[in-house]
Structure 1
Amino acid sequence: MTEQVKPGNKMADMPIAKLIVTMALPMMLSMMIQALYNIVDSVFIGMLPERAEALQALGYAYPVQMLMVALGVGTGVGAGALLSKALGMNDGKKADSAAGNGYFLMLCFTLVFAIFGLFVFFGGVYLDICTSNAVVAEYGRQYLGICLIFSLGQFVQLMGERTLCSTGRTNLAMIMQLAGALTNIALDPLFIFVFDMGIVGAAVATVIGQWVAMIVGFILDVRLNKEIRVSVKAIVTPSARSLGDIFKVGLPAVVLQCLQSLTTLVMQITFGFLYSGAEKDMLVGIYGIFYKLQYFVLMLVYGLNNAAIPVIAFNYGMGNGERVKRAIGASTIIAVIIGALGLVLFEAAPEPLLRCFNASDVAVGTLKSEFMTGVKIMRISATAFPLAACSIIFAAAFQALGLGLRSMTVALIRLLVVLMPACYLMGRFFGADNIWWGSVIAEAAAFVYALATMLFVVKKYVSPLDNYRICAETAIRDELQGE
C-alpha cells in the first residue's frame, strides 16, 4: 500500500522559489550529465586519427538516439505528471498504476529498438541511406547498432529518474545519472584507446554507463522512494485507462523530443540540397557537434522544466492556483537567465567550444569557406536561446496542467511548422550563411504563441482554483462560527 502524502510534504508547503531551485539544481545537473553521454563520446572520438569519418558517423547516429530519448523522456513526463497529480490528490493506487504502466511502456520501446538495432548492426539499415561514404556508414553501423541492441538501460533509467523526480527526490535522480555518466567517462578512454576498440569502445562504454544508471536508480526507488510501490503485476498487466492518461500528457512531450530529432534530419536533408559528397558529410559532422553543444545548454532548461512539472501538477491537484502561478513565474525567470548565459557563452567563445571536439579549421571557420561554418552556426542560433527557454517552460506548464495539445503546438511551431519554411526561405533568398536565422524566426513565433496561450490558460484554468478555495474556506469558517 502506498503511503499517503503527509501535510508536511515540501511540494505543498515549501516557498515556491526555494522549492523550484531546490528541485531544479539536481535536475539540471542530472540533465547535463545525460547530455554528457554523447558529448563525451564525441570528445574522445575526436582524438582518433580517423576522427572526421567517426564524428560524421555520430552525426548520423544522433537523430536515432534522440528518438529513443524522445520516447523515454516523453513517456516519463506523462507518467510522472500523472503520478505527481495523483499524490497531490492522495490517490496512492493511481500513482502506483502510473509508475507500473510507465515501466511497461519502456520495456515495449526496448524491444522495438533492439530489433531495429539488429537490422542496423548486421544489415547496415539506415546508415546506407544516410551516406555514400562506406567508412562513415561502417562506423555508424557499429556505434548505433550496439546502442540500439542494448537500449534497455537507456529506457528504464529514464523511467526510474521520473519516479524519483515526481516525488520530489531530484537529488536521488542526480545521483543515479551521475553514477552512469562517471562510469561512461571512465570507460571511454579505456575502451577506445587502451583496448584499441575505437568507436565500438565508445558505444560499449555508453551502454555500460546507462545500465549502471538503471541499476542504481532501481535500488534508490525500491529503498528510498516510499510514496510509490511498483509491483511486477502492475508492469506485466497494464491498465488501459492509465496508459491513456500517460499518453494524453506524454504524447506532446514525445512529439517535442521527436521533433528535435527530426530537426537534425531536416537540416541534413537541407545540406544535401546545397552540397554533396565530402562537403555535405563535413557539414553534417560540424552541425552534429553544434547540436550537442546547443542541446547541452538547453538541457539545463529541460532539467528546470522536469523539476517544475511535478511542482505544478502536485499543486494543481491540490487546487492551489496561487502556488501554480508562482511556480510558472519562478521557472520562467530562471529559464531566461539560463538562456541569456548560453547566449553570452556561444557569442563570446564559439571557437574554443568547437575545438573541444578537434573540429577542423574549415569547420571552425578560421579558413575561408563558401559554406556555413561552425562559428556562424553558433553565433546566429544562440540569439534565440532566451526565447526558446521561455517556450520550453510554458510547454512544460501546459503538460503539468494536462493541456498536452497546447504543449505540442508550441513544439510544432518551434521545430517544424515555422522552422522548415523559415530556414528554406532564408537560405534560398539570402544565402546559406543566413539559413540559421530561420531558427530565430521560429523561436520568436513559438514564444508569441506560448505567451498568449499561457495568459489564457492561467485565466481560465488556474485563477479559478483560488476562488474555489477561498469560497470553501469561507464556508467552513462560517459553519464553525455558527456552531
Structure 2
Amino acid sequence: MAVTADELGTQDIKKLLIKQAVPSSIGILFMSVNILIDTIFVGQWIGSLAIAAVTVVLPITFLISSLGMAIGVGGGSVLSRALGANDREKALHIFGNQIMMTVLLASVFVLFGLFFSDEMLMLFGAKGAIVQPAKEFFIPIIISVPFLALCMMGNNVIRAEGKAKFAMVAMIIPAFVNIALDILFIKYLDLGMFGAALASAISYFTCFLFVFWFFVFKSELRIKIKHFKFQFPVVKEISELSFVTFSRQGVVAILSIILNHTLYTYGGEHSVAIYGIISRMLMFALFPILGITQGFLPIAGFNYGAENYERVKETVQLSIKYAAVLATLIFVVILIFAKPIVAVFTSDSHVIDQTPNALRWVFAASPVIAIQLIGAAYFQAAGKAKKALLLTLSKQGFFLIPLVLILPNFLGIFGVWIAFPIADILSTILTGYFLKKEMNTKLNKTNDGIL
C-alpha cells in the first residue's frame, strides 16, 4: 500500500523507512541492471571500444538530464516541507514551477549539445578509435534527454509524495523496454551503436509516459493552469537546493572528463573501457545504499518541515545503520568475486586481467560511505543548501579530482584507482563532523524546546 504524505509524520520510522527505501532500491536496481546489461550487450556484441564510447557519452547526457533530477530533488525537499507544514497550495505551485524549469533548461542544453556535439565529445574524452562509435551513440541519446529529464524530475516528486512504489515502477518500465530493444536492434537487426542509442531513447520516452499517467490519475498534486506560473520566491527556493544536486552532477561530469583523459594518457582505450565497467558496477552494487538515501529524503524533509526533530534524528540514525551494514556486505562480495564479475562484460583478455584489482580498490572504502551519503542528504532534506552543497561536492570535487590529477604522476594508472577510497574516507570524516554537530544541536530540540 502506498504511503500518504501525512503518514510520513506518523508511522513508525523503521516501517516507514522500509516502505520508502525498498521500492526506491528496487527501482535503482532495475535502472542499474538496465545500464549494466546495456554495457554487457555492447561489450559482447560490438566490442570493448563500444564500452569506452558509452563511457564518454553517458556523462554528457546524464549532465543535461540531471537538470531534471536536480529540480526534482531540490523541489522535492521544498515540496516535502510544504506538505509537512500542511501548505498544499504552495506544494502545487512548487510542482508547476518544477515542470516549467525542467522543460526550459533541458531544451536549451540539448540544443547546445546538438550544435556543439563534436566539441563536447572531444572534451569528454573521445579520442582515437573511440570517436566514431561515440558519435553514433550520441545523437539519438541527446534528442531524447528532455524526456529523461522530466522522468527524473517527476520521479523525485512522486517520492516526495510518499508514493515510492510508483516511483519504482517508473524506473522498472524503461529497463525492460531498453533490454528488449537492445536485443532486437543490436543482436538481430545489427544496428550497432546507433541501435543501442535508439533503444535507450525509446525507453526514456516510455518512462515519461508512465510519469505523465501518474500525475494525471494517481497523484495528490492535482495542479491547474494557475500553478504554471513562475513565482520568483518558489523558483529561488527550488534553485538553491537544486543547485546542490546539479553541482554534484556537474562535478561528476568534470571528474569524467579528467578521468577519461588521464586513463587514456596512462593506459589507452582499454583503461577507459576498464573504468566504464567499474562505473557501472558502482551504480549497480550500491543500489540498496542509494535506495535508502532516496527513501530517507521525503521522511526527513516532511518531519523537518513539521518540526518533529526527534523523528528526523531517528531517521538519520536508522538510515546510516542499515546502509553501513549493506555497504559492508557489498564490499565483501566485490572482494571475493571481482574476476568473474568482470568476465561477464567482455572477452577482451587485456581488460579482464586489469579490471578486478582496480574494482577492489575503488570499492575499498565502501563500508564507511553511508555516513557521507545520508549526512549530505540530511542537509538537503532540511533545506540547508550551503552545507548540503559543501558535503555533496566533498568527495568528487574537493578530494577525488585533485587526487586523480596528482597521484598518477607518481603511481601511474594505480594512482587513479587508489584515489577513490582515499576520497571516500576524507569526505566521510568531513560529513561526520558536520552531522554530529547538527545532531547535538538542532536535532536535540523538540516542539517544546530542548530535550
2:39 — aligned with what? 42
CA contact (8 A) 1:322 1:466 kept: no
1:296 — aligned with what? 284
C-alpha change, 1:315 and 1:187, in structure 2 (3 Å) is same
Give the alignment partner of residue 230 of structure 1, picking from 219, 223, 227: 223
| Secondary structure class of the residue paired with 1:126 | helix
Bigger shift: 198-207 or 251-260? 251-260
CA contact (8 A) 1:298 1:389 kept: no
Give the alignment partner of residue 198 of structure 1, picking from 192, 196, 215: 192
Give the alignment partner of residue 386 of structure 1, picking from 367, 390, 411: 367
CA offset digits 1:349-402 (Å, max 9, x no partner): 11222122115111121xxxxxxx211211111111122232011100010011
Query: Aligned-pair distance for 1:37?
Result: 3.8
1:246 — aligned with what? 238
Q: Which amino acid aligns with 2:227?
A: A
Equivalences, count: 448
CA offset digits 1:250-274 (Å, max 9, x no partner): 21122122222322222123224x4
Give the alignment partner of residue 126 of structure 2, picking from 125, 131, 137: 131
| Secondary structure class of the residue paired with 1:450 | helix
CA offset digits 1:39-70 (Å, max 9, x no partner): 2321111122x413222211111221331343
Distance, in Å, in 1 between the alignment partners of 2:256 and 2:283 is 12
2:407 — aligned with what? 426
Q: TM-score, normalised by structure 1?
A: 0.88
C-alpha change, 1:351 and 1:434, in structure 2 (3 Å) is same
Answering whether residue 331 of structure 2 is matched by residue 343 of structure 1, we say yes
Answering whether residue 96 of structure 2 is matched by residue 100 of structure 1, we say yes
Query: Aligned-pair distance for 1:285?
Result: 1.4
C-alpha change, 1:359 and 1:142, in structure 2 (3 Å) is same
CA contact (8 A) 1:286 1:359 kept: no
| Secondary structure class of the residue paired with 2:119 | coil
Query: Aligned-pair distance for 1:469?
Result: 8.8
1:369 — aligned with what? none
1:87 — aligned with what? 83
Q: Which amino acid aligns with 1:230?
A: I
CA offset digits 1:256-295 (Å, max 9, x no partner): 22222322222123224x43xxx41111111111111112
Give the alignment partner of residue 261 of structure 1, picking from 228, 250, 253: 253
2:423 — aligned with what? 442
Distance, in Å, in 2 between the alignment partners of 1:283 and 1:68 is 25
Query: Aligned-pair distance for 1:206?
Result: 0.7
1:363 — aligned with what? 351
Equivalence map 1:137-286=2 (5 Å): 137-226=131-220, 228-235=221-228, 237-272=229-264, 274-275=265-266, 279-286=267-274
1:477 — aligned with what? none
Q: Which amino acid aligns with 2:54?
A: L
Q: Which amino acid aligns with 2:42?
A: I
CA contact (8 A) 1:27 1:303 kept: yes
Q: Which amino acid aligns with 1:190?
A: L
Q: CA RMSD in A?
A: 2.1
| Secondary structure class of the residue paired with 1:90 | coil
1:321 — aligned with what? 309
CA contact (8 A) 2:144 2:204 kept: no
CA contact (8 A) 1:320 1:465 kept: yes
2:19 — aligned with what? 22
Structure showing greater radius of gyration is 1
CA contact (8 A) 2:64 2:110 kept: no
Query: Aligned-pair distance for 1:425?
Result: 4.1
CA contact (8 A) 1:163 1:221 kept: no
C-alpha change, 1:302 and 1:231, in structure 2 (3 Å) is farther
CA contact (8 A) 1:66 1:260 kept: no
Query: Aligned-pair distance for 1:90?
Result: 0.5
Distance, in Å, in 2 between the alignment partners of 1:305 and 1:431 is 34
Distance, in Å, in 2 between the alignment partners of 1:43 and 1:116 is 30
Equivalence map 1:58-73=2 (5 Å): 58-73=54-69
Q: Which amino acid aligns with 2:59?
A: P
Answering whether residue 448 of structure 2 is matched by residue 460 of structure 1, we say no
2:112 — aligned with what? 116
CA contact (8 A) 1:81 1:166 kept: yes
Answering whether residue 341 of structure 2 is matched by residue 353 of structure 1, we say yes
CA contact (8 A) 1:116 1:148 kept: no
2:297 — aligned with what? 309
Bigger shift: 291-300 or 153-162? 291-300
CA contact (8 A) 2:48 2:346 kept: no
Please list every run of 5 or more consecutive structure 2 residues that lacks an aligned counterpart in the other structure.
Answer: none
CA offset digits 1:423-452 (Å, max 9, x no partner): 444333344324422221211111111111
Distance, in Å, in 2 between the alignment partners of 1:84 and 1:459 is 24
Query: Aligned-pair distance for 1:173?
Result: 0.8
Please list every run of 5 or more consecutive structure 1 residues that lacks an aligned counterpart in the other structure.
Answer: 366-372, 471-483
CA contact (8 A) 2:102 2:153 kept: yes
Question: What percent identity do the matched residue pairs reach?
Answer: 25
Distance, in Å, in 2 between the alignment partners of 1:192 and 1:231 is 43
Highest RCO, 1 vs 2 (Cα 8 Å, sep ≥ 6): 2
C-alpha change, 1:198 and 1:432, in structure 2 (3 Å) is closer
C-alpha change, 1:105 and 1:35, in structure 2 (3 Å) is farther
CA contact (8 A) 2:65 2:106 kept: no
Distance, in Å, in 2 between the alignment partners of 1:299 and 1:262 is 23
Q: Which amino acid aligns with 1:234?
A: H
CA contact (8 A) 1:70 1:256 kept: no
Q: TM-score, normalised by structure 2?
A: 0.94
C-alpha change, 1:116 and 1:138, in structure 2 (3 Å) is farther
CA contact (8 A) 1:301 1:338 kept: yes
C-alpha change, 1:336 and 1:241, in structure 2 (3 Å) is same
Distance, in Å, in 1 between the alignment partners of 2:337 and 2:98 is 41
Query: Aligned-pair distance for 1:221?
Result: 2.1
| Secondary structure class of the residue paired with 2:44 | coil
Distance, in Å, in 2 between the alignment partners of 1:195 and 1:341 is 40
